[in-house]
Amino acid sequence: MGSGTANDKATPPAALSAPGPALCDYTRGELDLAHQALGDPDLHEGVHQARKAIRRARAVLAMGDGLLGPGAGLVDRELRTLNDGLSNLRDAHALVEVLDRLLRRERRDEARVVLRRAREAAIVTRARIADAATRSDPGLQSRRAMLEVLRATLVALDWLRPTPAGLRMAVADSDLRSHEARLRACQGGDDDDWHRWRRRARRASHQRRALEAVGVPVSGESPHFDKRTTHRLGEAQDLSMLLDHCRADSPFSKEDRDALRDRARPALHRARRRIARRVTGRGDACPAG
């Protein structure tokens, strides 16, 4: 059973009163997707899709925190470790994607020259990181094997304990955490605060998706994290990532680092002010960090 398939058929009445087994199938399906993605000939796209599937699986485990038994924490820690271990690959490719998006929007010739040089440097770095990863783990086979182990372990968890009411409470708790993170970010938060809001809102969204897939009705998305806000947060994240790569260990030359910082800092400041104005009605916070 793969992700997003549970809504294709009518949900059995038993699933509505005891949704745990269906959630187990859903979570195993996400790990199947991650396993398949890591075998994609397009290494970078495969890693991207695998990390998303792992995040969706971890969101389900978070809903069952304290109910699924001690093994749930072990599975979650291993999934987190696996995802963290793939982050260098993902970040290296994401930087190239960010520079591609900036190049598409940039019209000034002088700025485009800098962006093209930066993109060339990012491509070299991406190739080096990918080569190191595939040398140490050909075909990412050790990661795929770990996913198989964790998928098998899922069935041993106590999936009969979660109830619809308890799962809805878990989503409500995720919403509250997202709301608190949003307030911190939009009231002068730093980069970590903004990243925390994005992660927490994304987790709440994943949890809603999972419950809807197994037929458990749940309230709609937060009005403070609609598609438009999601898009703007993504744009701000692009700029934040670019700034992260303009430090001393940057793949870019010092001259290009300076030029990129001069561009990205005020743009990030403006982007965060627009987000804050949209979700709070105020625009007097959100420094670029």
Residue 231 has a pLDDT of 82
Mean pLDDT of 110-130: 96
Mean pLDDT of 217-224: 71
- Measured distance CA(10)–CA(208) in Å, rounded: 18
Residue 223 has a pLDDT of 60
Residue 204 is which amino acid?
Answer: A
Q: SS3 letters for 177-236?
A: HHHHHHHHHHCCCCHHHHHHHHHHHHHHHHHHHHHHHCCCCCCCCCCCCCHHHHHHHHHH
Residue 6 has a pLDDT of 41
Residue 15 has a pLDDT of 54
Residue 216, SS3 per DSSP = coil
pTM to 2 decimals? 0.88
What pLDDT digit, counting tens, does each position of 157-195 carry? 999 999 999 999 999 999 999 999 999 999 888 999 999
- Degrees (nearest 5) of the Cα angle 205, 154, 199? 25
Which residue carries 């491509």 as its tokens? 123
What pLDDT digit, counting tens, does each position of 58-117 carry? 999 999 988 999 899 999 999 999 999 999 999 999 999 999 999 998 899 999 999 999
pLDDT score of 239 more than 50 = yes
- Measured distance CA(93)–CA(126) in Å, rounded: 6
What pLDDT digit, counting tens, does each position of 38-53 carry? 999 999 999 999 999 9
pLDDT score of 287 more than 70 = no
- Measured distance CA(153)–CA(151) in Å, rounded: 5
Percent of the chain with pLDDT over 90: 74
- When the pLDDT of each residue in the chain is averaged and rounded to a whole number, the result is 89
Element (H, E) at 158: none
Residue 16 has a pLDDT of 61
Please indicate whether residue 13 or residue 137 has the higher confidence score (pLDDT).
137
Quick one: tokens of 9? 């058929």
Residue 42 has a pLDDT of 96
Residue 68, SS3 per DSSP = coil
**Which backbone phi and psi does 250 adopt, to 5 degrees?**
-65, 150
